[in-house]
Amino acid sequence: MVVMGEETLYDPSLLLELDFHKSPAKFEPFISAAHPGEPWMKVRPLQDGDYEKGFIQLLGQLTATGTVTKTQFLTRFSQMKALGDYYVTVIEDTRSKTIIGAASLVIERKFIRGCGLRGRLEDVVVNNTYRGKQLGKLIVVTVTLLANHLGCYKMSLDCKDKLIPFYTSLGYLLEPGNSNSMTIRYDGGSKLVSNLTAATNTLSLEGPS
């Protein structure tokens, strides 16, 4: 029976199957999703009760979230779960029942590469009072290994210049001649505003093809 508030977005046992020794990330001390280093820390899929645990407030440290009601959160949670390609992953401080880190793997289903799967890393954030303690590395490596485990042929992300060293240390690369990120924003005006975001880079991590 699934307890209200503890319904998970995806199968949590997937996180126990990841081999953190496969990542080039240097953890000192060594930690993993199964053993995050503190008894009060848990790495797990997003749950339907995480609205109450400050998940949206945490995303607010990444970007503008707008107002998200509990109903909207639960509707989006159900949609993502039904689609099955969203692996929103969080770190909880179980002492305060607060979400302190998050990252999403979104799987894109392709026709190319023999109907291959491409992973996209999205919405990476660690609560500012917990930064600098390896949690950013932990959550990014978790979803990166998960993409590999689920059969993705590559995983990519967009980031600001200053975070290139962070992602490079985790195995992501700026591919020469192929690392631009372009955006068109639909901000509600009558005109479409496009821009090549010079400050944003696309990094990729390729699996064996």
Ligand X SMILES: CC(C)(COP(=O)(O)OP(=O)(O)OC[C@H]1O[C@@H](n2cnc3c(N)ncnc32)[C@H](O)[C@@H]1OP(=O)(O)O)[C@@H](O)C(=O)NCCC(=O)NCCS
- Least separation in angstroms between residue 165's CB and ligand X is 6
Nearest to ligand X of 162, 191 (CB atom): 162
> In the 8-state DSSP scheme, what is residue 58?
H
- In angstroms, the Cα distances linking 113 to 110, 120, 164 are 7, 16, 27
Nearer of residues 48 and 53 to ligand X, judged by Cβ: 53
Which CB sits closer to ligand X, 32 or 48?
32
Strands (DSSP E) found in the chain: 41-45, 86-93, 98-109, 117-126, 152-160, 173-174, 180-185, 193-206
Q: How far is the CB of 130 from ligand X (least distance, A)?
A: 7
Tell me which residues touch ligand X (CB under 6 A).
Answer: 61-62, 124-126, 131-137, 159, 162-163, 165-166
Q: Round to the nearest angstrom and report the end-to-end CA distance of the chain.
A: 40
Pick the closer one to ligand X by CB: 59 or 74.
Answer: 59
> Measured from the CB of residue 201, what is the shortest distance to ligand X in angstroms?
10
Residue showing tokens 């797990």: 44
CB of residue 158 to ligand X, shortest distance in Å: 7
